Amino acid sequence: MHLEGRRDALIVVDLQPDFMPGGALAVAGGDQIAAPIGRLARRFATVVATQDWHPRGHVSFASSHAGRRPFESIALHGGAQTLWPDHCVQGSPGARLHPDLPDEALTLVLRKGTRAQVDSYSGFVENVGPDGTRASTGLGAWLQARGIERVFVVGLARDFCVKATALDAAAAGLQTWVVDDLTRAVDPTQAATVDAALAEGGVRRIDSGELS
């Protein structure tokens, strides 16, 4: 597939040390995709990097709920919330963008999960909040105002924030691809389920070697 500078954007999801091996919420192999994503970013005129950016005591942290452990699920705001280890705390080393992602290639850094009582997997729309609605981050309107028609999504983790970002991009009317070889999953055994959800949401899949 030939990239077209004026209408294509790369969305790099949560390429942060806390999601790398040795980090607070490590995704196996997460470090393996950092350098290839950095090289790919230089080929796009528009690059958006999402950045998990949680305040201390965030509602998604298991430590914020007495007696709860990471990876348990609780009911929150009318839905299910997975509880995570404390991660990507604002200003912490683990919350920084990975150094293999060249700062000069980034057009926009979008910080998400910044509100203490609302989680945000997607770069486009937050999870359901206390009022029962999902608040827009404004990313869809920003991309469309720049004339972007196609987005390519990479990063971490494929089964959570990559999936949510891609599905919401497609729902916003953007032609959307997940670049499979430049993602890694928290639970790789769920790949078929994730693939089905992406297909149902109109998201296509591609490998980076197919981009020219």
Whether the CB-CB separation of 136 and 124 falls below 8 Å is answered with yes
Domain that holds residue 39: 8-54+89-210
Q: Does residue 121 fall inside a structural domain?
A: yes
* Band of pLDDT at residue 79, cut at 50, 70 and 90: confident
Given a cut of 90, whether residue 4 has pLDDT beyond it is no
pLDDT at 59: 93
pTM of the model: 0.95
- Structural Rg of the chain based on CA atoms: 16
CATH number at residue 41: 3.40.50.850
Is 84 contained in some domain?
no
Residues in the chain, total: 212
65 occurs within a structural domain: no
Is the predicted pLDDT of residue 131 greater than 90, yes or no?
no
**Residue 200 domain-assigned?**
yes
Residue ranges in 17-60 assigned as alpha helix (H): 34-41
Give percent above pLDDT 70 in the chain: 100
In total, how many domains does the chain have? 1
pLDDT at 93 over 90: yes
Closest residue by Cα to residue 203 from 179, 181, 176: 176
Cα–Cα distance between 144 and 157 in angstroms, integer? Answer: 25
Residues marked active site are found at 14, 112, 161
Task: Please report whether residue 179 resides in a domain.
Answer: yes
Q: Is residue 64 part of a domain?
A: no
- Which residue's entry shows tokens 């528009």? 46
Per-residue model confidence (pLDDT) at position 33: 98
